[in-house]
Amino acid sequence: MNPAQSQLEQVFTRLYRYQHLVAMAGWDRATMMPPKGNEARARAMAEMDVLLHRTLTDSGLGALFADAEAAAGNEDEAAGLREMRRVWLMASRLPEALIEARSLAGARCEHDWRRQRGANDWSGFLANFEEVVRLAREEAAYLSDASGLSRYDALLDKYEPGVRSERLDRIFGEIKGWLPDLIARARARQAGDTLVYPQGPFPLERQRALGLIMMKKLGFDFDAGRLDLSVHPFCGGVAEDVRITTRYREDDFIQSLMGIIHETGHACYEQGLPRTRVHLPVGQARSMGVHESQSLSFEMQLGRHPGLIAQLSPLLEQHFGASEAYETENLIKLFTRVEPGLIRIEADELCYPAHVMLRYEIERDLIEGHVDCRDVPALWDEKMSAYLGVDSRGNFRDGCMQDIHWTDGCFGYFPSYTLGAMYAAQYFAAMRRERPLLDADIAAGDFGSVFSWLGRHIWSQGSRWTTDELIERATGSALDPVHYRAHLEARYLG
């Protein structure tokens, strides 16, 4: 390796160590920190964000990149430089003052949101939200001016490198063309089903014990991570110390259980990244869409697979007592029940993409300046009615205030969920071609074929390839929504 690239890797290794501490402080803020600690924690984390930015935009890095790229000796070194340069360029386009202001505004908005959401207090939330959006638009303007991308695409590129809204509009437009009919047909098919709904209460300690068992079954390494509580479920930390959170309801175990399975997919991706390179951008997760493809591989492809549900049946009886609600056939009906509702993270597999497309369209127009923050509730109500036939008027808590993402300025993130669902369907189509007995393996409780395939093709690759290259190398073709539609039709109409 040439000396310039070696020096760059030293800088990025230092950044990774800083990010480790920031991640732990963020986890603590979401799970353990007392409310009165928020302002001091917000200022401390803003200070760390400034330190990270200052390290990454050091005036000497430009010359190091030029020297390293001139002397790059092989494809691996070139890939490493490509990923470091991408991170460096993104940071170098933003002023330090904006970094600090954005961090503080997001921390304050997210903290107050926890209380305001429960109180259905849109007007109270709006003041903080307007500041977050103002700073996000300012960030988008800087990135857009430097890159030539539209303002929304400049933010989207942070989460989905190389993906543009034009491509999303085409893909989502295609999905909107067939999804409503598929939802209607699935609901008509299920109309005559007789279901037995589980009756609570479901003690929280038993829900936690069940979740831990499922995490172990799915390969989570408890020596490199843990499970905790938060207002909004997430997976955070770093690859060597992954933090999963969930939230419980005594009247419903399914939400928490599927949330844990979802977050375990994120965690196993992090735990499976290449350890020799995880401190560098090239060894880290490829994109948020690829990250979501791992959580949705676990939650949707595996978690709602009849073979896994059959194994879940005796576990539910063990933890909550005998009930015909826990019989395998009844559970399969419950876990694949199509029923439009208000809450994204509680949505069934068919309705979920409608929730994502709604948010994508609003945040895109919000960042581009086509709509104002005050317009969001009405737009939300309009799209919820049009896409899902659900009335959300006046219900800000379960409407436009339900997600954490916009509170800290994560605009451009939401498309990752549906991209991830499409990637996951394409992975499993490729797995079945490679391993025709895959479904029998899952039914027998052997997930090794799934984990081995994901490990070889996705986890171990980090960011060695661009997203399109990664998907094509793994599955034999670029992203093709036909696999997603085929999966949904097979599960809900087959």
Question: 128 near 112, Cβ under 8 Å?
Answer: yes
Q: Is 263 one of the annotated active-site residues of the chain? A: yes
The Cβ-side half-sphere exposure at 409, using a 13 Å CA radius, reads 25
How far apart, in whole angstroms, are the C-alpha atoms of residue 354 and residue 369? 23
As to burial, measured by CB atoms within 10 angstroms (0-12 exposed, 13-18 middle, 19+ buried), residue 451 is: middle
User: CB count, 10 Å around CB of 275?
Assistant: 12
Cβ proximity of 182 and 489 under 8 Å: yes
Within 8 A by CB and 6+ apart from 283, the residues are 273, 274, 276, 277, 462, 463
Whether 203 and 250 have beta carbons less than 8 Å apart is answered as yes
Provide Rg for the chain, Cα atoms. 22
**If you ran DSSP here, which 8-state letter would residue 133 be given?**
H
Place of tokens 């869409």: 289
What SS3 class is residue 24? helix
Q: Produce one character per residue of 238-271: b if its CB has 16 or more CB atoms within 10 Å, e if not.
A: bbebbbbbbebeeebbebbbbbbbbbbbbbbbbb
**Token pair listed for 280:** 């560098």
SS3 278: coil
Q: Provide the sign of the torsion angle of the four alpha carbons 153, 154, 155, 160, taken in this order.
A: positive
Which of 412, 449, 402 minimizes the C-alpha distance to 301? 449
Task: Judge whether 251 and 205 are in contact, CB under 8 Å.
Answer: no
- The Cα 239–Cα 272 span in angstroms is 8
List the 225-229 sheet strands across, edge first: 225-229, 241-246, 235-238
Residue 188, CA atoms < 13 Å, CB-side half-sphere? 7
Is the torsion defined by CA of 262, 268, 270, 273 positive or negative?
negative
Nearest Cα residue to 411 out of 377, 354, 370, 365:
365
Candidate list 131, 263, 346, 363, residue with the active-site label: 263
The Cα 51–Cα 115 span in angstroms is 30
Token representation of residue 163: 């993906």
Task: Write the single-letter amino acid at 334.
Answer: L
Beta strands 225-229 and 241-246 are parallel
Judge contact between 204 and 248, C-beta under 8 A: yes
Separation between Cα atoms, residue 123 and residue 281, nearest integer Å: 40
- Positions annotated as catalytic residues are 263
